[in-house]
Amino acid sequence: MTAPQDVAGPPPAVKTATDTKPTATAPGTIYGLGLGPGAADLLSVRADRLLRGARHVAFFRKAGRAGQARRIVADMLPAGVVEYAMEYPVTTEIPLSDPRYNALLSDFYTTCTAHLRGLAQGGDDVVVLCEGDPFFYGSFMHLYSRLRDDVPVQVVPGITGMSAAWTATGLPVTWGDDVLSVLMGTLPEDVLTEHMRRADALVVMKIGRNIDKVRRALQAAGRYDAAWLVEYAAMADQNVVPLAQAAGRVTPYFSIVIVHGQGRRP
């Protein structure tokens, strides 16, 4: 699982009786822990073990909210664990294209990273909670790219939210040689339409306020009647509905639209 760049270096030189220099503290490891789609028993056995043995846990959340990652593991945190909540700065007033948006987020990740780096350099392991899979979209990557040259980082992959979404539809998503395209609802409508035309199976994430644009793109691509809307996949309030039957629906940002492939099936 360890990234090639993260492989432990050569073993430390053997100490002898004449070696009197004080030993530097061995750095701790930062674990990017894939939590999977949202059910506590869909963590991997490895992630479950690391989490239950953690002394430091870090997670992202919106200001004033409990945080979805924290909620998933609420019943699994060991007694006495030290929590570090990384609260996203409020950016709703700043358009995505404004340089201030990037600068604000960059500062935020730098601050979080400094704290985590300090813990690891002091010898502590830290588990960073990541919804889904840490390297598949998501915020952990912005910490990872800032930490990987300084301290040991290990990534534990997780079940993606999209896996839970297509499982929830009760239909396989890809067969035979189907091409699957994963699209963000935040993309421009014409880009969405073009990809929706060309792929066999589709996953569209980041729905929320983009739902009407996603509908129009699916319609233009001739895929609308085959689309499913999945809300809260793998969670207690999971809901699956044909998209065409959900007209006017207000749906969360983390909802997922699925169009199944129709490839070879003997």
Q: Should residue 88 be labelled a site residue for its own copies when binding is judged by CB under 8 A?
A: no
CA distances from 161 to 91, 119, 246 (A): 25, 30, 21
Q: Should residue 198 be labelled a site residue for its own copies when binding is judged by CB under 8 A?
A: yes
Q: State which of residues 83, 111, 179, 225 lies at the interface with its own copies (CB under 8 A).
A: 179
* 140 in Cβ contact with 129 (< 8 Å): no
- CB 81 to its own copies: min, Å: 19
- CB 10 to its own copies: min, Å: 19
Q: Within 220-239, which residues bind its own copies (CB under 8 A)?
A: 234, 238
* 164 in Cβ contact with 38 (< 8 Å): yes
* 242 in Cβ contact with 195 (< 8 Å): no
What's the alpha-carbon Rg for the chain, to the nearest Å?
A: 21
Q: How far is CA 145 from the centre of its chain?
A: 15
Q: Within 149-168, which residues bind its own copies (CB under 8 A)?
A: 155-160, 163-164, 166-168
- CB 224 to its own copies: min, Å: 19
User: Quick one: which of 261, 74, 260, 36 has its CA closest to 164?
Assistant: 36
Q: Should residue 114 be labelled a site residue for its own copies when binding is judged by CB under 8 A?
A: no
Q: Should residue 178 be labelled a site residue for its own copies when binding is judged by CB under 8 A?
A: yes
- CB 61 to its own copies: min, Å: 18
Q: Should residue 59 be labelled a site residue for its own copies when binding is judged by CB under 8 A?
A: no
